[in-house]
């Protein structure tokens, strides 16, 4: 009888050991997958990318603070070391990837958060539909996302979005789709079906009759 008891006890210990080992292996496997995901998406973090083109109004990568349109998460590897991950949306058109990625991290100075969020939504839609054509037509990141450079001591009434000549296309869409794109213009359709032409070049500061900022509201 004692031998049988010893065998049962041994079997329980072996079963417990194997269960613990399998659980640890599964935990490490999940951790490795999480760590791999973190490593993968770290490459998408614009703050770790050098050589980002300068675009008026886009915040520097060294000064990132909330609020953010980027997805942030923390992953812990099998060694217990945590890694913060920031996942941003990158368009197919490579010319705009870095700038659009950085711009998702925080609103530019003197830009209302709601307008920044709307610009990110509009920019995402525009790049999905027109990004590759815009790239082929040589639209720059500044043409799409640029902003007026504010004075050192702006007046309380100053608005960066009031300067039509320095405002990129996507800031002016405000939920309206682009329905045609050429090397020089973008046709913007309003909810009523009216078409406003955004001119890429030779824009007056406040916009001429027919494509001034008021027509885009």
User: What range does the domain containing 53 cover?
Assistant: 36-216
Pick from 147, 130, 144, 217: which is nearest to 182 by CA?
Answer: 130
Pick from 167, 166, 191: which is nearest to 179 by CA?
Answer: 191
Cα 161 → chain centroid: 20
Cβ within 8 Å of residue 86, ≥6 positions away: 41, 44, 45, 47, 68, 70, 71, 72, 105
In a domain, 14, yes or no: no
In a domain, 26, yes or no: no
In a domain, 48, yes or no: yes
Q: How far apart are CA 184 and CA 126, in angstroms?
A: 16
For residues 106-129, average pLDDT: 94
Strand partners, 84: 74
List the structure tokens of 97. 């990837």
The model's pLDDT over 134-183, given as tens digits with 9 standing for 90+, comes to 999 999 999 999 999 999 999 999 999 998 899 999 999 999 999 999 99
Query: For residue 56, what pLDDT is reported?
Result: 57
Q: How far apart are CA 179 and CA 12, in angstroms?
A: 71
Q: How far apart are CA 124 and CA 103, in angstroms?
A: 11
Q: How many domains does the chain have?
A: 1
In a domain, 20, yes or no: no
In a domain, 73, yes or no: yes
The model's pLDDT over 139-153, given as tens digits with 9 standing for 90+, comes to 999 999 999 999 999
List the structure tokens of 198. 């955004």
In a domain, 45, yes or no: yes
In a domain, 46, yes or no: yes
Query: For residue 197, what pLDDT is reported?
Result: 93
The model's pLDDT over 66-107, given as tens digits with 9 standing for 90+, comes to 577 777 666 566 666 666 666 677 788 888 998 998 899 889
In a domain, 131, yes or no: yes
């Amino acid at each position: 009888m004692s031998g049988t008891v010893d065998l049962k006890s041994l079997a329980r210990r072996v079963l417990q050991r194997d269960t613990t080992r399998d659980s640890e292996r599964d935990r490490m496997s999940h951790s490795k997958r999480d760590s791999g995901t973190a490593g993968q998406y770290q490459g998408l973090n614009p703050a770790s990318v050098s050589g980002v083109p300068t675009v008026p109004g886009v915040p520097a990568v060294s000064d990132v603070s909330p609020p953010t349109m980027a997805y942030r998460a923390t992953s812990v590897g099998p060694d217990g070391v945590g890694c913060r991950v920031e996942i941003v949306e990158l368009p197919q058109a490579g010319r705009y990837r870095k700038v659009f990625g950085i711009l998702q991290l925080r609103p530019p100075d003197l830009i209302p958060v709601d307008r920044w969020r709307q610009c990110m939504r509009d920019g995402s839609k525009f790049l999905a539909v027109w990004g590759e054509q815009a790239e082929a037509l040589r639209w720059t990141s500044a043409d799409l996302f640029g902003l007026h450079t504010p004075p050192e001591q702006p007046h309380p009434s100053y608005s960066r979005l009031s300067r039509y000549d320095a405002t990129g296309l996507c800031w002016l869409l405000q939920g309206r789709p682009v329905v045609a794109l050429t090397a020089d213009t973008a046709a913007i359709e309003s909810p009523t079906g009216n078409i406003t032409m955004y001119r890429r070049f030779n824009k007056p500061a406040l916009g001429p009759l027919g494509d001034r900022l008021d027509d885009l509201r």
